Structure 1
């Protein structure tokens, strides 16, 4: 989730090869195609069967009450539903990982993910959210987040984050993972490993009575002696009957005063950059977020539910 607002949109990207002599590797950089095309109105949306319940922003109507104070009521139907949505999201993420191969396009991945979700009577939450035109996000190499699936084939050595969210029985389930395409160089492998280590550290800082700010501090401790940094431009978020809501989860050092309480359900999704200084710019499509210097980035995401005695990772 971007801390600043985005206009909706997308555009197919073109690739350029750059080399970083200090690390002795080359990888394809994703750039907006020229001449620029603004927005995503030219992208055809995939259809969803009429019998599948949709969130409000996609033309549906509320089927369950809104979460109370940003929390899910524990021990009842609400907890059962959010756990079911998270479990389906996990299954979709794992399915998406089996599709990530050289020569496969991210549009083909999106189509398969879309069919997987609707075949299970769920709605792909990204579709039509603020106008987003696809059913998942696919962020390749230097793309930080919100990459829009297109017809560019993945290449040997790419890294790609597939971010999936499902809307099932009135609740959203959200998760992401960065996958390696073929023979990724050691630096790319380490970036993906460090991203998951940062996510694990953030999760370990959770529990009833703890400050949300401890998540960012834990992530900082993992990466502060490395050549990586965490993007401050994106946050985790509360999730339940609403896709994005409070509490907002900051992944960098912060002093937010709010305390975790039983029933809080939220995502942790650090975006780690292969650079010492974070940067971000948005393509003319209004969605695709890239590093300014084309450094690679990786992201991983889990849903966390605070319980009376600790926490559960719902998408693990």
Structure 2
């Protein structure tokens, strides 16, 4: 079967219908993937966060959960170790291995297509990458159900947060809660991700791998849950305070509450006809007003029967994403906000993304359904959901108590 010619091949950008030019992804070329063409450098940069997932399926997936040859010496009492002792970490957090064994999902539970070999072929099928699906009533009801279940699972995990608990234990809780709801934990083996949930601490922006590190008083922890149930995915995350020390730290509260507010402000814009590129404008404006930056490397995404699909939803201002919301679309908005630089660095596990300056970061995410006159937040908090906003701490200034501000 002949491959597409240069004159007829399409750009690989998820949100682009243009014909491709001669620009190819250099990483794809290095890995021997010869057909990754884009129409422009701007389109390539805009789609990098989703396109780079293809590289994981071509690399040695064992690197995601087996330590390299050079490791720190295991602690003689606990057997724990840092798998990347020579890596220049940007902040104080370190991975604590060994990882627990991959958790099992019974065959009786419906599996997504990547569950066996880690490759989400349905997301890369020709004609799917650029198409934004409009869900009918059945699809919308399917999304409502899976998102309700996903909220239940996140709330169960959040209720277990306390100093001394490991993120691996959080993963175990999430995994069991998914199975109890006849659901597959969507992250498990997605492009070889080794766990059932992402747990991102302190300077970790996203995609943190649950391990043996105990939570400590003063941490902030993002838990990112996605379920696959009835043929649909439901995705949400929140950042939580670990212990009272975190709630009394002005910087931690500032970055967490700013991220929460950024998501709320962006959701206010969602309705039929709203341009995808405009959400980033309000997010970055609000983040900057609180002295924070917005991470540019990762974006929101379409979600339905596919875990990640069109459209891409950037969170930064003046982006050039094309398209507008239409009734029946489902997508996520999930701003990542940092105290310092917006730039990031990925750990050698090829998943964990940290801020380049090691400063703290926070994220919140909802799955949204565009309705005839606005938006339905499918993953909305309930009155009993753990967490929620906290006020800025009161600090002593010249012997007097004063509420800390973000300015």
Q: Do they superpose with TM above 0.5?
A: yes
Matched residues, number? 292
Alignment-derived partner of residue 2 in structure 1:
49
After superposition, where does 1:202-217 map in structure 2 within 5 Å? 202-217=266-281
After superposition, where does 1:8-23 map in structure 2 within 5 Å? 9-10=64-65
- The alignment partner of 1:31 has SS state of coil
Alignment-derived partner of residue 108 in structure 2:
51
Q: After superposition, what is the alpha-carbon deviation per residue over 1:149-197, rounded to whole angstroms, capped at 9, x for unaligned?
A: 0011000000000000000000000000001000211210121111100
Question: Against the structure 1 CA distance between its residues 3 and 229, is the aligned structure 2 distance closer, same or farther, given a 3 Å change threshold?
Answer: farther
Q: Please report how far the alpha carbon of residue 59 of structure 1 lies from its aligned counterpart in structure 2 after TM superposition.
A: 3.6
After superposition, where does 1:244-263 map in structure 2 within 5 Å? 244-253=308-317, 254-263=319-328
Q: Please report how far the alpha carbon of residue 93 of structure 1 lies from its aligned counterpart in structure 2 after TM superposition.
A: 1.2
Question: Against the structure 1 CA distance between its residues 13 and 127, is the aligned structure 2 distance closer, same or farther, given a 3 Å change threshold?
Answer: farther
Following superposition, which runs of at least 4 residues in structure 1 exceed 4 angstroms of deviation? 10-14
Pairing 1:30–2:77 present = no
After superposition, where does 1:49-198 map in structure 2 within 5 Å? 49-59=106-116, 69-74=131-136, 76-182=137-243, 183-184=245-246, 185-198=249-262
Which of the pair has the greater relative contact order for Cα pairs under 8 Å at 6+ separation? 1
Q: Which runs of 5+ in 1 are unaligned?
A: 15-27
Alignment-derived partner of residue 304 in structure 1:
368
Q: Please report how far the alpha carbon of residue 32 of structure 1 lies from its aligned counterpart in structure 2 after TM superposition.
A: 5.0
Equivalent pair of 1:29/1:141 in contact (CA under 8 Å): no
Equivalent pair of 2:204/2:355 in contact (CA under 8 Å): yes
Give the Cα separation in 1 of the matches to 2:130 and 2:311.
12
1:273 aligned to which of 324, 335, 338 = 338
Give the Cα separation in 1 of the matches to 2:231 and 2:133.
15
Equivalent pair of 1:32/1:283 in contact (CA under 8 Å): no
Give the Cα separation in 2 of the matches to 1:124 and 1:130.
13
Q: Which runs of 5+ in 2 are unaligned?
A: 1-47, 68-79, 83-90, 123-127, 381-407
- The alignment partner of 2:49 has SS state of coil
Give the Cα separation in 1 of the matches to 2:252 and 2:354.
16
Choose between structure 1 and 2: higher strand proportion: 1
Give the Cα separation in 1 of the matches to 2:130 and 2:359.
41
Pairing 1:225–2:286 present = no
Q: Please report how far the alpha carbon of residue 222 of structure 1 lies from its aligned counterpart in structure 2 after TM superposition.
A: 0.8
Q: Please report how far the alpha carbon of residue 72 of structure 1 lies from its aligned counterpart in structure 2 after TM superposition.
A: 3.7
Moved more, 142-151 or 218-227: 218-227
TM-score, normalization by structure 1: 0.86
Equivalent pair of 2:199/2:223 in contact (CA under 8 Å): yes
Equivalent pair of 1:67/1:240 in contact (CA under 8 Å): no
Equivalent pair of 2:221/2:239 in contact (CA under 8 Å): yes
Question: Against the structure 1 CA distance between its residues 115 and 180, is the aligned structure 2 distance closer, same or farther, given a 3 Å change threshold?
Answer: same
Alignment-derived partner of residue 20 in structure 1:
none
- The alignment partner of 1:175 has SS state of strand
- The alignment partner of 2:289 has SS state of coil
Q: After superposition, what is the alpha-carbon deviation per residue over 1:229-279, rounded to whole angstroms, capped at 9, x for unaligned?
A: 01001100000000000000000011323111111100000010011x311
Give the Cα separation in 2 of the matches to 1:256 and 1:167.
28
- The alignment partner of 2:94 has SS state of strand
TM-score, normalization by structure 2: 0.68
Equivalent pair of 2:130/2:310 in contact (CA under 8 Å): no
- The alignment partner of 2:93 has SS state of strand
Give the Cα separation in 2 of the matches to 1:239 and 1:259.
15
Q: Please report how far the alpha carbon of residue 67 of structure 1 lies from its aligned counterpart in structure 2 after TM superposition.
A: 11
Alignment-derived partner of residue 359 in structure 2:
295
Give the Cα separation in 1 of the matches to 2:337 and 2:130.
32
Equivalent pair of 2:338/2:361 in contact (CA under 8 Å): yes
